[in-house]
Amino acid sequence: MRATMRVAFAISVSITFGTMIFFTASVAPTLFSVLSLNSAGRVLDELFPIYYTLTGLLCVIAFITAFWLYAQRPPKRARIIQSLVGITTLLTLIAWLIILPRMADLTSRIPTFAGPRTPLINQFFMYHGISMLFNLIGIIALLIVIALWASSHPFAPINTLKSEE
């Protein structure tokens, strides 16, 4: 069971980290370089719910498995991993369940992003900035988690880890 939880933790953290990096470094910049501002925004309006659903659920899995794996042994490294996964999960859930709906509501009330900056556009960009900050914090936190995890579980085959059970 411990090996299964370890694999679930590693997979959920890795996929979350990869998704965050890919979306931030590739998808969003590419859309804005190829499409008009309004068109890119409409595409992202469709992608954001998928992105946050995926990363939110994977963060919850990582959070649960991190606490299960280290329930009996609370060394400093384990507490750091649990805290960083918890922070990433919390920020992702806030972005998914609070910020994203507010941004969607604002987008529906903004006819175009071209032209002068209205109070609604300013509010939208404030929420967008917060979501980007949360995403960046999550990326950094998960990078640290991966580094701590890899240093405590050097790339050994899973069957050699059974002795820890």
Domain ranges of the chain: 2-159
Over range 2-25, report the average pLDDT: 93
Looking at 49-58, 103-112, 133-142, 145-154, which range is the least confident one?
145-154
Q: Quick check: 164 pLDDT over 60?
A: no
Q: Is the pTM value of this prediction over 0.75?
A: yes
Distance CA 106, CA 63 (A): 31
Whole-number Å distance between alpha carbons of 165 and 157 = 15
Q: How far is CA 67 from CA 28, 93, 150, 153, in A?
A: 33, 18, 17, 16
Query: Is 102 in contact with 35 (CB distance < 8 Å)?
Result: no
CA angle 78, 88, 92 (to 5 degrees): 155
Q: Please state, in angstroms and as integers, the Cα–Cα distance from residue 120 to each residue in 40, 45, 56, 81, 135, following that order.
A: 18, 16, 27, 38, 23
- Answer whether residue 30 shows pLDDT above 90: yes
Q: Does residue 156 register a pLDDT over 50?
A: no
Average pLDDT, the chain: 88
Report the C-alpha gap between 3 and 42 in whole angstroms. 42
pLDDT of residue 74: 65
Task: Give just the sign of the alpha carbon dihedral 118, 123, 132, 108.
Answer: negative
Q: What is the pLDDT of residues 37-48, one digit of tens each?
A: 888 888 988 999
